[in-house]
């Protein structure tokens, strides 16, 4: 009898759940549509300045606005709808948008409706949400050129051609200036490693110190610090560092570009020098 009651209870809960999932709150949907329309009117942003783009978003919540080095600034902005939020990430160079990523984070029936309304190129995610991307290749090349001028030329310059899918993903995590993660290892409530830590460990496990040297010269600030930490550790184990590597390491270590760090549940912003010193303890 107990088994029968459990089956009936589960069936009732299942029926209630389906009804709730299928129901779309029309007031919330109207708010979602307002956000989509507002963002849609700003893209592609190739003919307006970053300041004008941000102004047109209206009423946005700025989560990040910081210098990442070599003439680039990264911002993260959130626009709240009803069911969903639009997470906007942009890279600014010379007051213009070099890269833009907008994640509309709702899937399901609402995601379908909003994607149809969006009516622009977008990538559908596994959970049904969708992402819009924009890149200005000339401005992105300018950041990389500035990094190369200061830190030296990376070798290999284009390793993507020789990497398998897994290493390529880790390489992009460490070098893409739009990737956001913290410098650290045992972090957050579950003691997990940030994406950058897992990525640098993967390059080391593959014995690709050449890729780590290339990451040292990348436009991602946390990626650069992970590379410095890895190269200094490799040096202690007998690896030889070229004069150019030592010079680049010194520059990154002394740079005042803010670095996002994590240790346990604490996340803070500090300098590369302090982050590396704390990691060495």
- Specify whether the CB–CB gap between 140 and 176 falls below 8 A: no
Tokens of 248: 């680049």
CA torsion, ordered 176, 187, 129, 39, to nearest 10 deg: -60
Per-residue pLDDT, averaged over 235-240, amounts to 94
Q: Does 79 score more than 80 pLDDT?
A: yes
Reported pTM: 0.87
Alpha carbons 141 and 2: distance in angstroms, whole number: 67
Residue 17: per-residue pLDDT = 35
pLDDT band (50, 70, 90) for residue 162: confident
What are the structural domain ranges in the chain?
A: 24-141, 152-279
Q: Quick one: average pLDDT of 266-278? A: 95
- Tally of CB atoms within 10 A around 159: 18
pLDDT for 89 equals 97
pLDDT at 63: 93
**Can you tell me the mean pLDDT for 249-270?**
96
pLDDT tens digit string along 9-37?
Answer: 333 333 333 333 457 899 999 999 999 99
> How far apart, in whole angstroms, are the C-alpha atoms of residue 244 and residue 251?
11
pLDDT (tens digit, 9 = 90+) per residue, 89-132?
Answer: 999 999 999 999 999 999 999 999 999 999 999 999 999 999 99
CA separation for the pair 212, 182 (Å, rounded): 17
Separation CA 166–CA 151 (nearest Å)? 27
What pLDDT is recorded for position 24? Answer: 85
Length of the chain: 281
Region 139-153: mean pLDDT is: 95
From first CA to last CA, the distance across the chain in angstroms is: 61
Q: Is the pLDDT reported for residue 3 higher than 80?
A: no
- Report the C-alpha gap between 80 and 28 in whole angstroms: 10
Handedness of CA 8, 9, 14, 19 (dihedral sign): positive
Confidence band of 265 (pLDDT split at 50, 70, 90): very high
The DSSP secondary-structure symbol of 58 reads: -
Residue 133 or 5, more confident: 133
Omega of the bond prior to 247 within 30 degrees of 0, cis? Answer: no
Q: What is the mean pLDDT of residues 218-233?
A: 97
pLDDT at 156: 72
Find all residues with CB under 8 Å of 117, minimum gap 6, and list them.
Answer: 33, 36, 37, 40
Separation between Cα atoms, residue 31 and residue 178, nearest integer Å: 28
What confidence tier does 82 reach under pLDDT thresholds 50, 70, 90? very high
């Amino acid at each position: 009898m107990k088994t029968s009651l459990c089956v009936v209870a589960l069936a009732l809960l299942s029926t209630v759940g389906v009804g709730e999932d299928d129901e779309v709150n029309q007031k919330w949907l109207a708010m979602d549509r307002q956000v989509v329309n507002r963002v849609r009117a700003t893209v592609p942003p190739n003919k307006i300045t970053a300041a004008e783009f941000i102004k047109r978003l209206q009423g946005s919540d700025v989560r990040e606005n910081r210098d990442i080095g070599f003439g680039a600034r990264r911002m993260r902005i959130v626009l709240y709808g009803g069911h969903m939020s639009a997470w906007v990430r942009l890279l600014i160079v010379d007051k213009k948008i070099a890269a833009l990523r907008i994640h509309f984070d709702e899937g399901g029936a609402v995601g379908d409706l909003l994607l149809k309304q969006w009516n622009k190129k977008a990538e559908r995610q596994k959970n049904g949400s969708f992402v819009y991307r924009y890149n200005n290749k000339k401005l992105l090349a300018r950041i990389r050129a500035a990094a190369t001028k200061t830190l030296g030329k990376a070798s290999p310059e284009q390793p993507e051609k020789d990497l398998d899918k897994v290493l390529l993903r880790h390489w992009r995590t460490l070098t893409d200036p739009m990737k956001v993660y913290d410098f650290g290892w045992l972090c957050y409530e579950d003691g997990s490693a940030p994406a950058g830590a897992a990525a640098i460990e993967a390059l080391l496990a593959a014995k690709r110190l050449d890729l780590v040297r290339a990451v040292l010269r990348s436009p991602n600030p946390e990626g650069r610090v992970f590379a410095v930490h890895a190269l200094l550790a490799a040096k202690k184990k007998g690896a030889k560092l070229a004069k150019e590597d030592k010079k680049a390491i010194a520059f990154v270590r002394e740079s005042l570009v803010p670095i996002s760090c994590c240790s346990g549940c604490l996340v803070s912003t500090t300098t590369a020098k302090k982050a590396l010193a704390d990691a060495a303890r």
